A and B are shown apart, each in its own frame.
Chain A
Amino acid sequence: MCSVCGCSGQVSSTERAEAHDAQGSARDRPHVQDNCDRHEAHLHGDQGLQHSHQAGHDHPHHPGGPQAHGGQALVSRDADPAALKVAGMSCQGVIQVGRDILGKNSRIAAENRALFMADELLVFNFMSSPGAGKTSLLVRAVSELKRSCTIGVIEGDQQTSNDAERIRSAGVPAIQVNTGKCCHLDAAMIGEAYRRLPPLTRGILFIENVGNLVCPAAFDLGEACKIVVLSTSEGEDKPLKYPDMFAACSLMLINKIDLASLLEFDLGRTVEYARRVNSKIEVLTVSARTGEGFGAFYAWIDKQAAHQRRALKDTRR
């Protein structure tokens, strides 16, 4: 059964490296055994044997020492399992687990982030509802940014490689991840896809997530920033309807701004609603069709690149 959706037949897949390099040959990197052609590729659990001390857990650590807990034996995670087994007796009781449900995804996201930092790569995770204009926005951005730096794109969709083909037509390497029945990209999918892209050292990786304003917000991919794209045709109250998404993002890009007057779109109210759920969110208005606002967007990218360079410098001291 698929660990993502419970389906028995639908699988997600990542394009082979040879298929999507618009600029050169695929990287010769060792293949990590999280094959996206198998159901096991979706690593959503937390199988690490050591729990994180950053994740909250309130149990004391006394190896092998049962403690009173609600009238039942409490077994520490550090207890020696052998000490629990007595011939002919069950090991009835309560086991404290205290681990983040998203722990495994978070661990893989941290590995991705370390890899991106080592490659001095700036990574953005674009999210929106379907039809907000993410792909059009990226096609314009990569067409213009490819002149000044190395660019790569990971495209996430349930089906088809249409979006990756649009990006490749703009002269930039792109890899399509088809998620099958899955409603979001996860860190394992990104790790796999990145290894199949050509080298992007000191460049920018754009990830276009599955069109969905709910699920993708929950999954760290290892990106530097999450960006939500909201189009003027969607209405001002989207941030209130989907607060988790807007709370998770550093930047809200309001696309199709050229249609604002036609649609009587209230920009002030939209920004006010977004800042109710995330007082720190930055806001830029753009039009992927006309190019309006893209200069400010590129300036914002430059600012994030400078932040990352400073962070990298600090870690290397």
Chain B
Amino acid sequence: MHEMALCQSIVEIVEEEARRRSFSQVRSVCLEIGALSHVAPEAIRFCFAVVATRTIAEGAALKIIECPGVAWCMICSKSVKIARRDECCPHCGSYHLQVTAGEEMRRKELEID
């Protein structure tokens, strides 16, 4: 359950920002999670609620923007959308794909009071 470690990281950055900017409440935390990243959004939601308990992030809404997977097909030289790593190019059926987007796991923004 590595999502727990990642949620700890998310809470740490919220606490760090709170110290730097002197805010005391976080209304929401917005994340960008790629379709091909190493985390499942539902697992992040579950873990965030646990890890945020008794921290400044407790009770904050978690907004997750799910980014689509994109790959470059080396056979037909086109950028194609893929939802999973084992998908082939929808144009030529080749698996010679280089992922170009969808692996991101980023904290995008915080909404504060």
A residues with CB within 8 A of B = 3-6, 42, 44-47, 49, 55-57, 72, 75, 81, 84-85, 90-104, 182-184, 186, 214-215, 217-219, 239-240, 243-244, 247, 273, 275-277, 279
Q: Are A92 and B110 in contact (CB under 8 A)?
A: no
Q: Are B86 and A96 in contact (CB under 8 A)?
A: no
A234 to B82 CA separation, bound complex (whole angstroms)? 27
Q: Are A95 and B21 in contact (CB under 8 A)?
A: yes
B residues with CB within 8 A of A = 1-2, 4-6, 8-10, 12-13, 16-17, 20-23, 31, 38-39, 47, 50-51, 74, 84-86, 88, 95-99, 104-113
With known contacts A56-B104, A97-B108, A247-B85, A81–B20 Cβ distance under 8 A = yes
Distance to closest chain A CB from B80 (angstroms): 14
Q: Are A279 and B96 in contact (CB under 8 A)?
A: yes
Q: Are B8 and A4 in contact (CB under 8 A)?
A: yes
Contact among B39, B96, B105, B110 for A94, CB-based, below 8 A: B110
Contact among B6, B17, B111, B112 for A102, CB-based, below 8 A: B6
Closest partner residue, chain B, to A241 (CB atom): B86
Which residues of chain A come closer than 8 Å to B10, judged between CB atoms? 45, 101
Q: Are A90 and B21 in contact (CB under 8 A)?
A: no
Which residues of chain A come closer than 8 Å to B20, judged between CB atoms? 49, 81
Which residues of chain B come closer than 8 Å to A72, judged between CB atoms? 111
Q: Are A91 and B112 in contact (CB under 8 A)?
A: yes
Q: List 10 A-B contacts (CB under 8 A).
A: A4-B8, A46-B9, A56-B106, A85-B22, A90-B23, A95-B109, A97-B13, A97-B17, A97-B106, A247-B85
Distance to closest chain A CB from B38 (angstroms): 4
Closest 3 CB pairs of A and B: A45-B12, A218-B38, A45-B9
Q: Are B85 and A100 in contact (CB under 8 A)?
A: no
With known contacts A44-B5, A84-B22, A91-B112, A6–B50 Cβ distance under 8 A = yes
Distance to closest chain B CB from A204 (angstroms): 27
A245 to B108 CA separation, bound complex (whole angstroms)? 26
Which residues of chain B come closer than 8 Å to A57, judged between CB atoms? 106
Q: Are A215 and B21 in contact (CB under 8 A)?
A: no
Q: Are B107 and A44 in contact (CB under 8 A)?
A: no
Q: Are B21 and A75 in contact (CB under 8 A)?
A: yes
A186 to B31 CA separation, bound complex (whole angstroms)? 22
Candidate in A57, A183, A215, A275 with the most chain B CB atoms within 10 angstroms: A215
A102 to B38 CA separation, bound complex (whole angstroms)? 11
Closest partner residue, chain A, to B22 (CB atom): A85
Candidate in B9, B98, B104, B109 with the most chain A CB atoms within 10 angstroms: B9
Q: Are B22 and A81 in contact (CB under 8 A)?
A: yes
Which residues of chain A come closer than 8 Å to B31, judged between CB atoms? 101
Q: Are B22 and A95 in contact (CB under 8 A)?
A: no
Which residues of chain A come closer than 8 Å to B112, judged between CB atoms? 91-95
Which residues of chain A come closer than 8 Å to B51, judged between CB atoms? 6
With known contacts A217-B38, A218-B38, A244-B85, A96–B109 Cβ distance under 8 A = yes
Distance to closest chain A CB from B68 (angstroms): 15
Which residues of chain B come closer than 8 Å to A100, judged between CB atoms? 104-106
A3 to B111 CA separation, bound complex (whole angstroms)? 24
With known contacts A5-B1, A183-B1, A215-B2, A92–B113 Cβ distance under 8 A = yes
Which residues of chain A come closer than 8 Å to B108, judged between CB atoms? 96-98
With known contacts A279-B95, A279-B96, A279-B97, A101–B107 Cβ distance under 8 A = yes
Which residues of chain B come closer than 8 Å to A81, judged between CB atoms? 20-22
Which residues of chain B come closer than 8 Å to A214, judged between CB atoms? 2
Q: Are A99 and B105 in contact (CB under 8 A)?
A: no
